[in-house]
Amino acid sequence: MIALAFGLLASAAVLIARRRMVVHEVLSTDVPDLAGLLRGALARPEAYREVPALFSRRVVPSLGGSSFSLNRARALARRGRLAVSTISSDLAKRVAKTPLPVIDGSRPEGEAVASTLGAVDLDRWVGIVGGGGEHPVTERLERAAAMVGETWKVVISPALANEVVVLDSRLTGLVMKPGEKCGLVVAVDEGGVVWQQVVHLAADHPWAAALVLAERVVECLRTSPERKRRVLSHLAAEAVIERAECHT
């Protein structure tokens, strides 16, 4: 039994040593396997717990030229603040100047990390903001938010993955035009059930429509209940006045 135990320990040691050697070789050379290795490590971190260097080494390429670790990428992703960009544009130049790292999605290993962790696609958001439409209800919601100290930009966009998508406030400056300030960017799917309900309601009750949209938006916010309450309470008051006026 003792011999068997020593044999198993020796085999395990050999496997760990081989895994560490493979990881070291991949991290030390610019080989195509790096993207697959990073994707596998993020999908099954428990399988790579014996090689902590894989998560602490600077292996994730960023637009700023320097790289950062998988540990930092995972931490940013948990807070919704991991971003990716692929194009060399004004956006990319602004990103390079911010202290928040942005993955270089043009690199295979960058694309692997971004897609696995669900990084915010800044290039897509630039298209959403630049091509998004406006509506009296969205403008009403923006004004209502401004009255309680919130700076929102609400746009209507086609073919979104969700009914309402909110860009984290730490990233809004990256997609706005130079000189344009905004605390929150909200995109609403023009073909979604929520927006169709808002449009139908807006014909006779625009404040109620704005309240319905706001209720859906605040569900997506990573913020305090108090901040959410401030926006909703103002819109609710206007909706009550609107309803009373309709019955007089």
Mark which of 75, 97, 118 sits at the end of a domain.
118
Q: What value does the CA radius of gyration of the chain take, rounded to a whole number of Å?
A: 24
pLDDT at 18: 44
Q: What is the DSSP string of 59-107?
A: EEEBTTS-EEEHHHHHHHHHTT--EEE---SHHHHHHHTSSS-EEETTS
Residues 178 and 208 reside in one and the same domain = yes
Residues 64 and 110 reside in one and the same domain = yes
pLDDT at 201: 94
Residues 109 and 179 reside in one and the same domain = no
- Is-contact 85 105, C-beta < 8 A? yes
Residues 133 and 241 reside in one and the same domain = yes
Residues 146 and 200 reside in one and the same domain = yes
pLDDT at 195: 95
* Closest to 110 in 3D by CA, of 84, 89, 130: 84
Residues 107 and 147 reside in one and the same domain = no
- Note down pLDDT in tens along the chain; length 248 residues: 444 443 434 444 444 444 444 444 445 445 457 888 888 888 888 888 777 788 889 999 998 778 999 999 999 998 888 888 887 666 666 766 777 788 999 999 999 999 999 998 888 888 887 778 889 999 999 998 888 888 888 999 987 888 998 887 677 766 666 666 667 889 999 999 999 999 999 999 999 999 999 999 998 887 778 888 988 998 999 999 988 887 76
For residue 173, which phi and psi values (nearest 5 degrees)?
-65, -20
pLDDT mean across residues, the chain: 80
pLDDT at 194: 93
Q: Which domain holds residue 167?
A: 124-246
Mark which of 96, 118, 140 sits at the end of a domain.
118
Rounded CA separation 74/81 (Å): 10
- Residue 189 is encoded by which pair of tokens? 């799917």
Q: Can you state the angle between helices 136-147 and 193-202, rounded to 10 degrees?
A: 90
Residues 6 and 112 reside in one and the same domain = yes
CATH number for the domain spanning 242: value is 1.20.120
Rounded CA separation 87/77 (Å): 21
Residues 75 and 92 reside in one and the same domain = yes
CA angle 181, 87, 164 (to 5 degrees): 50
Number of domains in the chain: 2
Residues 56 and 13 reside in one and the same domain = yes
Rounded CA separation 96/226 (Å): 34
Residues 7 and 114 reside in one and the same domain = yes
Mark which of 84, 118, 152 sits at the end of a domain.
118
Residues 188 and 238 reside in one and the same domain = yes
Residues 75 and 174 reside in one and the same domain = no
